[in-house]
Structure 1
Amino acid sequence: MTDTHALDALPLFPLELVLFPGGFLPLRIFEVRYLDMVSQCEKTGAPFGVVTLTRGNEVRTAAGDLAGGAKTSQAVFHPVGTLARITQLSRPQPGLIMISCTGAQRFEVGQTELLKHGLWTGRAKLLRDDQSVPIPEDLLPVASALARVLDTLKAQGVTPEQMPIQPPYALHDCAWVANRWCDLLPMALAQKHRLMTLDNPLLRLELVSDLLERNGIAT
């Protein structure tokens, strides 16, 4: 459960990706603003928010380090994002942190603030979790195809730590299967973000099924 008070100033990490609930996100942290953020999250056990960039860069340029991050202020991101909880952390060298995160609850950020050292924070409101909806019979092939992908990756010698999909697996659940396909399928960020924001997990799975057909992936 997330402390509601922490959501009054949720640290935000704008990235050129979409994090889905239950998704696996490895990150290499080297910017001071995010080194501080990750260290604080590790200390308190609090999550940070991943939001999808629509304009701007993930990494600040030299110009962005001046005047409290003028360049960074040009970043624009979607207001709906996903909480990221740190599951593994290592410090292989000074000034570098490697983390693995799991996507948790979705949120919508309202008022945002760019702090002096370039970190965005925002007042966030948690969105309700996806309902647990069993996969209907006509969409079971979508789950079977995902299971085959997992089996293929394991057969190819992909280690558990390198798997793009992390346990626990929920191959019976509409939202989980749809989300994991969204993690894997190549699609425009805007399209992926629209799927993430859908409140109906069955509809999300149906749209994923259509995408699989269009991509020639037999289900």
Structure 2
Amino acid sequence: MVETLPLFPLNTLLVPEATLPLQIFEQRYLRLIKQCLRSQQGFGIVPIRDGGEVGAPAMIYQVGVLAHISDWNQGSNGLLHIKVVGSRKFRVLSTQVEDDQLMTAEVEYLPEEDPLDIPDQFSGLQQLLEELQEHPQVAALELPLAHTASELGWLLILLLPLTRSEQVDMLAQNDPIERLQHIAELVDRLSSDPE
């Protein structure tokens, strides 16, 4: 099913079930947030391939995540502070830019991943995630716990030192076990590379 979504390009990645705090100050995004709050609809967060978050529309990757606003307030600095939660993954089919530079896209949702248990062979990755989540900067992100193979993979692609294109490629995968296998290979490579 194809749907039209307003897009919010970011220099960060949102994955399903994770939360992300945002500060909104540009008019195009204030309009977007007001519209989403009024209609109780979500918007798409897509990672930036080239360009910036502010000003002219950026070049984006073709995979993103539907975001729903879970909380919002007006900050003392006058900026709108929102917190979003990631839900469904989508592929961008085409984009348009509105008069105020807000980007919208025709998107197609990627298949939902089966909530598979984490296989025993990936218990090392589960332990790695738990160790990473104990770090104060990671703890501040308030990431959810990983109960399924999909959740473990999504959280690790956020936290491991991957390039943006590697993150997007792994996010786009629909087989959670295959994703964990790729992550395990990457961790092996990272741990065996001399400094």
Identity over aligned pairs, percent = 28
Shift in Å at residue 17 of structure 1?
2.1
Equivalent residue number for residue 132 of structure 1: 115
RMSD: 2.2
CA distance change for structure 1 residues 205 and 165 in 2, over 3 Å: closer, same or farther?
Answer: farther
Look up the equivalent residue of 1:121 and give its one-letter code: T
CA distance change for structure 1 residues 182 and 27 in 2, over 3 Å: closer, same or farther?
Answer: same
- Between 197-206 and 141-150, report the one with greater CA deviation: 141-150
Matched, 1:32 2:53: no
Look up the equivalent residue of 1:132 and give its one-letter code: P
Look up the equivalent residue of 2:143 and give its one-letter code: Q
5+ residue gaps, structure 1: 61-71
Equivalent residue number for residue 143 of structure 1: 126
Rounded to whole Å, the distance in 1 between the matches of 2:132 and 2:50 is 33
Rounded to whole Å, the distance in 1 between the matches of 2:6 and 2:77 is 22
Equivalent residue number for residue 154 of structure 2: 179
- Between 207-216 and 102-111, report the one with greater CA deviation: 207-216
Look up the equivalent residue of 1:14 and give its one-letter code: P
Look up the equivalent residue of 2:117 and give its one-letter code: P
Once the two structures are superposed, residues 33-88 of structure 1 have per-residue CA deviations (whole angstroms, 9 ceiling, x without a partner) of 0011112112221111011211221111xxxxxxxxxxx25x22122211011111
For residues 41-56 of structure 1, the aligned pairs below 5 Å read 41-56=36-51
Shift in Å at residue 94 of structure 1?
7.3
Q: Is the partner of 2:35 in helix, strand or coil?
A: helix
Matched, 1:163 2:158: no
Corresponding pairs, count: 192
Residue 173 of structure 2, aligned match among 176, 180, 198? 198
Q: Compute the TM-score of the two structures, normalised by the length of structure 2.
A: 0.88
Residue 99 of structure 2, aligned match among 109, 116, 135? 116
Q: Is the partner of 1:18 in helix, strand or coil?
A: coil
**In 2, are the aligned partners of 1:23 and 1:183 still within 8 Å (CA)?**
no
Q: Compute the TM-score of the two structures, normalised by the length of structure 1.
A: 0.79
Structure having the higher Rg: 1
